[in-house]
Structure 1
Amino acid sequence: MLLLNKTFQFVAIFCTLFADLSRGLAAGEVNEIVSIKREGPNIVFLISEDNSKHFMKVFASGGVNSPHIQKMAANGLAYQHAFSNSPVCSVARSTLITGTLTTRTGMHLHRKIKVAPMPEGLEMFPAYLRKAGYYTTNNAKKDYNAEEGAGVWDASSNTASWKNRPEPGQPFFHQETFTESHESRLHFPEELMRTYQPKDHPDQVKLMPQFPDTPLFRFTTAYHRDKIREIDDWVGRKINELEQEGLLEDTFVFYFGDHGGVLPGSKGYLFETGLNVPLVVRIPENWKHLVPYNKGDRPEAFVSFIDFAPTVLHLAGLDIPEPMDGKPFLGNGLRRNRLESSDEAYGHADRFDEKYEMVRSVRQGKWKYIRSFQPFYPDGLQNNYRYKMLAFAEWKQLFENGELGAIQSAFFEPKPAERLYNLENDPFETNNLAADPQRKKVLVALREKLNNWLLDNNDLGFLPENVFVNEALHNPVAYGKGFHQDLKRIIEINDWALQAWNKVRGNLLKTLREGSALEKYWAYQVAATHGRNAKQDYAAFPDWKEEENAMVQLRAIELMGILEVENPIPSLMAWMQKEEDPVAILIGMNSLVYFNDHSKYKGLAVPDKLKLKNTNAEVKRRLDYLNGTW
Structure 2
Amino acid sequence: MITRTLLFLAVLLSLCGTSRLHAADRPNILWLTTEDIGPNLGCYGDTYAVTPNLDAFAKRSQLFLNAWSNAPVCAPARTAIISGMYPPSTGSEHMRSSVPLPEGVKMYPQMLREAGYYCTNNAKEDYNLQKTKTPEDKDAVWDASGKNAHWKNRKDGQPFFAIFNFTNTHESQIRQPGHKLVHDPAKANVPPYHPDTPESHHDWAQYADNITEMDGLFAAKLKEMEDAGLAEDTIVFFYGDHGAGMPRHKRWPYNSGLRVPFIVHFPKKWEHLAPKGYAAGAKSEELISFVDLSPTLLSIIGQPAPDYLQGRAFCGSHAKPAPEFLYGFRGRMDERQDLVRSVTDGRYVYIRQYMPHLPYGQHINYMMQMPTAQVWKKAYDEGRATPEQAMFWKATKPSEELYDLQSDPHEVKNLAGDPAHVATLDKLRAANEKHLKDTRDLGFIPEAERLKVSGDRSPRDAFVSEDVYPFDQVLAMARAASDTSGSGKDAAPFIAGLSHNNAVVRYWAALGLHIRGAAAVGMGHKALRKAFADSSVSVRIAAANALATHDGNGPYAAVAMEVLIAYADARRAGNATAMEALSALGNHVEKLKPYADKIAALPDGAPGTEQRLKEYVPRLKEKLNADLGITAKP
Q: TM range, normalised to the smaller chain? A: 0.7 to 0.9
Q: Give the count of matched residue pairs.
A: 583
Distance 1:544 1:290, change over 3 A: same
- Give the deviation of 1:580 after TM superposition: 2.0
Helix, strand or coil at the partner of 2:263: strand
Q: Is residue 33–residue 240 contact of structure 2 (8 Å, CA) maintained in 1?
A: yes
Distance in 2, matches of 1:477 and 1:589, equals 27
Residue 41 of structure 1 is matched in structure 2 by 27
Q: How many percent of aligned residue pairs carry the same amino acid?
A: 31
Residue 579 of structure 2 is matched in structure 1 by 586
- Give the deviation of 1:532 after TM superposition: 5.3
Larger Rg: 1
Residue 172 of structure 2 is matched in structure 1 by 184
User: Given the alignment, which residue of 305, 308, 329 partners 2:293?
Assistant: 308
Residue 556 of structure 1 is matched in structure 2 by 543
Distance in 1, matches of 2:594 and 2:151, equals 57
Distance in 1, matches of 2:351 and 2:374, equals 26
User: Given the alignment, which residue of 504, 508, 527 partners 1:518?
Assistant: 504
User: Given the alignment, which residue of 24, 32, 37 partners 1:51?
Assistant: 37
Q: Is residue 44–residue 174 contact of structure 1 (8 Å, CA) maintained in 2?
A: yes
User: Given the alignment, which residue of 362, 368, 371 partners 2:352?
Assistant: 371
- Give the deviation of 1:260 after TM superposition: 1.2
With structure 2 as the length reference, what TM-score do the two structures score? 0.86
Q: Is residue 541–residue 581 contact of structure 2 (8 Å, CA) maintained in 1?
A: yes
- Give the deviation of 1:440 after TM superposition: 2.1
User: Given the alignment, which residue of 313, 336, 349 partners 1:328?
Assistant: 313
Q: Is residue 86–residue 92 contact of structure 1 (8 Å, CA) maintained in 2?
A: yes
- Give the deviation of 1:371 after TM superposition: 0.9
Letter in 1 for 2:293: F
Q: Is residue 311–residue 328 contact of structure 1 (8 Å, CA) maintained in 2?
A: yes
Helix, strand or coil at the partner of 2:37: coil
Distance in 2, matches of 1:253 and 1:38, equals 16
User: Given the alignment, which residue of 209, 212, 216 partners 2:195?
Assistant: 212
Distance 1:425 1:605, change over 3 A: farther
Distance in 1, matches of 2:444 and 2:351, equals 16
- Give the deviation of 1:354 after TM superposition: 0.8
Q: Is residue 538–residue 580 contact of structure 2 (8 Å, CA) maintained in 1?
A: no
Residue 486 of structure 1 is matched in structure 2 by 470
1:244 equivalent in alignment to 2:240: no
With structure 1 as the length reference, what TM-score do the two structures score? 0.87
Distance 1:391 1:502, change over 3 A: closer
Distance 1:583 1:138, change over 3 A: same
Residue 464 of structure 1 is matched in structure 2 by 446
Distance 1:143 1:305, change over 3 A: same
Residue range with higher mean Cα deviation, 258-267 or 219-228: 258-267
User: Given the alignment, which residue of 366, 379, 382 partners 1:401?
Assistant: 382
1:170 equivalent in alignment to 2:170: no
- Give the deviation of 1:574 after TM superposition: 4.1
Residue 435 of structure 1 is matched in structure 2 by 417
User: Given the alignment, which residue of 234, 238, 252 partners 1:269?
Assistant: 252
Distance 1:249 1:607, change over 3 A: farther
Specify every segment of 5 or more residues in structure 2 that has no aligned partner in the other structure, as ranges.
1-11, 13-18, 133-138
1:280 equivalent in alignment to 2:267: no
- Give the deviation of 1:62 after TM superposition: 3.0
Distance in 2, matches of 1:37 and 1:241, equals 17
Distance 1:489 1:37, change over 3 A: closer
Q: Is residue 577–residue 610 contact of structure 1 (8 Å, CA) maintained in 2?
A: no
Residue range with higher mean Cα deviation, 199-208 or 472-481: 472-481
Distance 1:509 1:37, change over 3 A: closer
Distance 1:542 1:197, change over 3 A: closer
Helix, strand or coil at the partner of 1:428: coil
Q: Is residue 91–residue 442 contact of structure 2 (8 Å, CA) maintained in 1?
A: yes
- Give the deviation of 1:577 after TM superposition: 4.8
Specify every segment of 5 or more residues in structure 1 that has no aligned partner in the other structure, as ranges.
1-13, 15-32
Letter in 1 for 2:352: R
Distance 1:478 1:609, change over 3 A: closer
Distance in 2, matches of 1:211 and 1:604, equals 37
Distance 1:327 1:34, change over 3 A: closer
Distance in 2, matches of 1:182 and 1:440, equals 39
Distance 1:151 1:575, change over 3 A: closer
- Give the deviation of 1:359 after TM superposition: 0.8
Trace 1:47-196 onto structure 2 (pairs within 5 A).
Answer: 47-53=33-39, 55-112=40-97, 115-149=98-132, 150-167=139-156, 169-189=157-177, 192=178, 196=179
- Give the deviation of 1:538 after TM superposition: 5.4
Letter in 1 for 2:332: R
- Give the deviation of 1:569 after TM superposition: 4.5
Distance in 1, matches of 2:332 and 2:623, equals 17
Residue 26 of structure 1 is matched in structure 2 by none
Distance in 2, matches of 1:576 and 1:620, equals 11
Helix, strand or coil at the partner of 1:419: strand
Letter in 2 for 1:184: S
Distance 1:210 1:35, change over 3 A: same
Q: Is residue 448–residue 538 contact of structure 2 (8 Å, CA) maintained in 1?
A: no
Residue 238 of structure 2 is matched in structure 1 by 255
- Give the deviation of 1:533 after TM superposition: 6.1
Letter in 1 for 2:333: F
Distance in 2, matches of 1:130 and 1:607, equals 56
Could you give the per-residue CA deviations for residues 526-574 of structure 1, whole angstroms, max 9, x where no partner exists? 2333335636745575435654343222112222244363466555324
Distance in 1, matches of 2:561 and 2:197, equals 35
Q: Is residue 130–residue 151 contact of structure 1 (8 Å, CA) maintained in 2?
A: no
Q: Is residue 407–residue 430 contact of structure 1 (8 Å, CA) maintained in 2?
A: yes
Distance 1:135 1:360, change over 3 A: same
Residue range with higher mean Cα deviation, 538-547 or 80-89: 538-547
User: Given the alignment, which residue of 455, 477, 494 partners 2:460?
Assistant: 477
User: Given the alignment, which residue of 492, 495, 515 partners 2:479?
Assistant: 495
Helix, strand or coil at the partner of 1:281: strand
